[in-house]
């Protein structure tokens, strides 16, 4: 969480001051925005290709590829399975080709809930994982040992596959992921908070994501310097 793009309109701020009033949520819910207007109460987050070097799991076979990859880079909620794209230790870009029928588990090994907070939020795909003696999720570490106690039976990936290259032609600080029922794919989106980063603040709705719902934009950016930097999380913005 990708194929065709369709240009369907503009979502703008500052260009059309006459339309500066926020449109009612009920009206926006009926169909995607298709004409220039201001939209308020937006959440803006960031995503990026996940660098394999940040991850600590043991290298395992990679479905769809003739390479071994760190297991948490493949299947965890910080890795390619969530971000969609990643940068391998070899410097090449890879992406998740298919998720099959898999969904998400939380760290306790139960069904995950997006936006539910620590303990309940997605931790790992429902394939490619181990459970410890308490039925919680764990995985083998590159340096030896286990992340959360020794694992037992390994649930092998069945429908998940990976492939070389980017998932789609996204551009750093020019592409955003949107909810296509709210903002149509291909729309131009003006985000003034990002004007210092890309000179004009304009983006295109090139992507979507399972966690992107309603008034939420996810800005595609370069990977941060460290894994501790998860990117911006701006609330209450207008675009």
pLDDT tens-digit readout, 190-211 = 999 999 999 999 999 999 987 8
DSSP one-letter code for 49:
P
Q: Please state, in angstroms and rounded to a whole number, the distance separating the CA atoms of residues 129 and 60.
A: 11
pTM, 2 dp: 0.78
Average pLDDT, the chain: 87
The predicted pLDDT at position 99 comes to 92
The predicted pLDDT at position 209 comes to 85
CA distances from residue 15 to 2, 18, 193, 202 in whole angstroms, order as listed: 30, 9, 15, 11
Statement: residue 58 has pLDDT above 80: yes
How many residues does the structure list for the chain? 239
Q: Please state, in angstroms and rounded to a whole number, the distance separating the CA atoms of residues 228 and 205.
A: 27
Which of 83, 55, 90 lies closest to 71, judged by CA? 55
Cite the beta strand spans of the chain per DSSP E. Answer: 10-11, 42-47, 50-51, 59-61, 68-70, 85-87, 93-98, 104-105, 124-125, 129-131, 137-138, 154-155, 161-164, 175-178, 188-190, 202-208, 216-220, 233-237
């Amino acid at each position: 969480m990708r194929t065709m793009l369709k240009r369907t309109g503009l979502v703008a701020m500052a260009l059309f001051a006459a339309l500066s009033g926020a449109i009612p949520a009920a009206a926006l819910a009926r169909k995607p925005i298709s004409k220039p207007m201001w939209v308020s109460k937006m959440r803006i987050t960031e995503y990026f290709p996940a660098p394999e070097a940040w991850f600590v799991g043991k290298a395992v076979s990679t479905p769809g590829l003739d390479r071994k990859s760190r297991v948490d880079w493949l299947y965890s909620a910080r890795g390619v399975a969530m971000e969609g794209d990643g940068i391998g230790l070899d410097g090449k870009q890879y992406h998740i080709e298919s998720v099959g029928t898999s969904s998400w588990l939380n760290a306790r090994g139960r069904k995950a809930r997006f936006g539910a907070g620590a303990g309940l939020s997605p931790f790992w795909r429902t394939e490619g994982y181990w459970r410890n003696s308490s039925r919680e999720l764990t995985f083998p570490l590159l340096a030896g040992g286990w992340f959360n106690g020794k694992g037992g039976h390994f649930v092998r990936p069945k429908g998940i596959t990976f492939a070389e290259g980017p998932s789609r032609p996204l551009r750093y600080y020019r592409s955003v992921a949107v909810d296509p029922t709210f903002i149509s794919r291909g729309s131009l989106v003006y985000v003034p908070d990002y004007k210092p980063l890309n000179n004009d603040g304009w983006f295109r709705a090139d992507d979507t994501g399972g966690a992107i719902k309603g008034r939420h934009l996810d800005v595609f950016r370069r990977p941060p310097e460290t894994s501790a930097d998860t990117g911006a999380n701006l609330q209450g913005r207008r675009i």
